[in-house]
Chain A
Amino acid sequence: MVNLSCTRSGKVYLGMLFLLGIAPLLFQWTNQPFLLDLLSRGLIIGIAALSLNLILGYGGMISLGHVAYLGIGAYCVGIPAYYDVYDGWIHLSLAIVTCALFALITGAVSLRTKGVYFIMITMAFSQMIYFIFLSLEEYGADDGLVIYARSEFPVWMNMESAVSLYYWIFGLLILTLFFIHRLVRSRFGRVIIGSKYNDLRMQSLGFNTYGYRLTCYVISAVICGLAGVLLGNFTSFISPEMMSWTRSGELIFMVIIGGTGSLFGPLFGALSFLFLEEALSLITIYWHLIFGGLLIALVLFGKGGIDAWLRKLDK
């Protein structure tokens, strides 16, 4: 990430990453376990937003069903735990395989459509997953599933305490950022970005853009699924409710607030979204009014989101 430290916005981002890295120490020192909770949740959702940004921001694939992967990842912890299988490696590999398979099948169908139809078909697939989990009496159906213990890993990397779980999340976050950073600058990334603007041109250059886009979709799903594994461990409770289409809508919001197609934007979009939600709901039970108004104002007047504002520093 050499070029990052050259610009002012890049310095701000790196500075904030540093702050996120030392946050548990700050919270421990001020004795604020709940703020650590809030930040842990924010980073997990942030990773999900980053993964959505990969297809939405860079690839122009507006998925209104991305939380399905967050949910699948979480159930990949919950369902084995229900059978007293707590091995973390099993949870992780299960999540990767399931998300990849589901994304491969649904992506293969969805990517045949364009524009609005793509939005709606991804929503349809995620609603199917939602209703499938809703129908599974054994795993709690509507009531959800309580996870009584966290995934087990070797001692030096366990996630038992709130702080160690936080560093798991932070670690995945850094990996994701690094991975996306490298990916979009590779040849693969250029094909994805190129096909967002002019699919035909990329095809006539000899690229099988369908294959590229599908691969990108699967990668994004797997990253989101990994975030789901952490979410399951963090909340120690999962329910189909977490996968309803409105949550997918919120995830899109986070990407937009942060700035589509920017590396860090969606992460801070997610954090500010959740922070606003928490802060506004403290003030009044009518907080949806202010929140909705802000979202409308953001689209009408605040083009480009947080990333665009920060980039003004660079000029």
Chain B
Amino acid sequence: MINRVKYSLLVAAMALAGTAHADSVKIGFVSTLTTPAGVIGADIKNSVELALQHINNKMANLDVELFLEDDGFKPDVGKQKTDKLVKQNDVDFVAGYIWSHVLLASMNSVLSANKFLISANAGPSQVAGKRCHENFFSTSWQNDQTPMALGEYLNKEGIRSLYVMAPNYAAGKDMVAGVESIFEGEIKGKDLTKWGADAQLDFSAELAKAKASGAQALFIFYPGKAGPAFLKQYQQAGLQSVLPLYSVFTVDAISLPRLQKANIEGVLGSKNTQAWSPDLDNAANKRFVGDYLAKHGGYPSFYGAQAYDSIMLISSAVESVNGDLSDKNAVRDALRLANYESVRGPYTYGNNGMPIQNFYLREVVEDDEGRWTTKVVETVFENHQDPYASDCKL
């Protein structure tokens, strides 16, 4: 049996060697397709496919080859898959990454091979600051920015004290740091809960603490499946009247349909901040959201919007060098211009490859067809740059 395995390995090796040089743009995309977080990956996959459909699967007349890999929500697996994309598939761009800790573990594999890394979601502070790299670009945000926008709004609302809860991983810590850096009132207490494939989902003890802390409001960051679970328990504990909730990356197009199904009405009217919203009024966004709605019967999430942008950003760069990907400097310069129609509207890049962009306050509303979605209320930050850009020596 082992002999046969060896033999097939060799055959596979030779077959792969044969296909190594086709005329195409090769994009590796790392996301989470399995585990309960796979629901985010599914949305991202839909959006990437939609983007490729919109450009007819061609960039500068070259066919696009997409290699989609699943990180299993684990940093070490994400790194393995990234190594595979870089070494075996020899891709030109590696994009994706939902989770900050997966990105941190994987980035070196891409950057040390002199390839381009486009984060479509994760924006850990380390990458924005000390570990910044000229080949790194983000189509999302730096983790701290969105909670900073929320902190700004809390100040305006006159909230004087806050209880903070987030999962205990790189992004969770950044989110907490972000809101703490802007919020002028007192932080009454803080809980960082277990994250990962075996994340903590029963928040009874923490909610009791938050309530007893006497804080005026509750700030949370619970992306993916933890969001609906948290909001449900929040409502069951009857905290809406005692401890108003403000969240980032928790109430989105992924959690809202589920919250609607579970009748968690408390979430209607709640506010959060984000760099994008399905109702943003620009041509690219209308096309993206409209086609997505038509194709999948529900709104795309911000994860999907950023993934869509990541393909469009790559496309703009490939077009501008007329498909000559050997000239890395030219490709990098083209990426840096962000010269494409982003679904969030125009933005620019800072020295660290993080977008300088607007952040909006969004409200949860019911749309004309009775679906729960988010609507922009006001602009909190205009052309906001992340606080770590000054630590970056580029």
Contacts and interface: CB of A to CB of B under 8 A. Distances in A.
Query: Do A and B contact each other directly (Cβ–Cβ < 8 Å)?
Result: yes
Interface of A: 12, 16, 19, 26-27, 30-35, 37, 41, 134, 141-144, 146, 148, 235-239, 241-242, 244, 268, 271-272, 275, 281, 285, 306, 309
Contacts of B104: 143-144, 146
5 contacts: A142-B101, A143-B169, A146-B108, A241-B196, A271-B5
A41 B87 CA distance: 15
Interface string B3-39: 1011001100110110010000000000001100000
The majority secondary structure among interface residues of chain A is helix
Contact of A241 (B1, B75, B170): B75
Given A142-B195, A143-B101, A30 B17 contact: yes
B199 to A, nearest CB: 10
B196 A27 contact: no
B84 interface: yes
B10 A285 contact: no
B70 interface: yes
B142 to A, nearest CB: 16
B2 A306 contact: yes
A142 B169 contact: yes
Contacts, number: 90
Given A141-B168, A146-B108, A236-B108, A37 B74 contact: no
Interface residues of B, number: 36
B301 interface: no
A241 B87 contact: no
Which A-B residue pairs are the 7 nearest by beta carbons?
A34-B88, A143-B101, A34-B87, A33-B87, A143-B170, A237-B105, A142-B169
A268 B87 contact: no
Most buried by A among B2, B5, B83: B2
A82 B79 CA distance: 19
Nearest to A135: B168
B84 A142 contact: no
B108 A241 contact: no
B342 interface: no
Interface in B50-99: 70, 74-76, 79-80, 83-84, 87-88
Contacts of A134: 194
Interface string B179-190: 000000000000
A19 B105 CA distance: 32
B17 A144 contact: no
Given A237-B75, A237-B105, 10 more contacts: A16-B6, A30-B14, A134-B194, A142-B194, A142-B195, A143-B101, A146-B105, A237-B76, A237-B79, A306-B1
A37 B108 contact: no
A275 B265 CA distance: 49
A32 B74 CA distance: 25
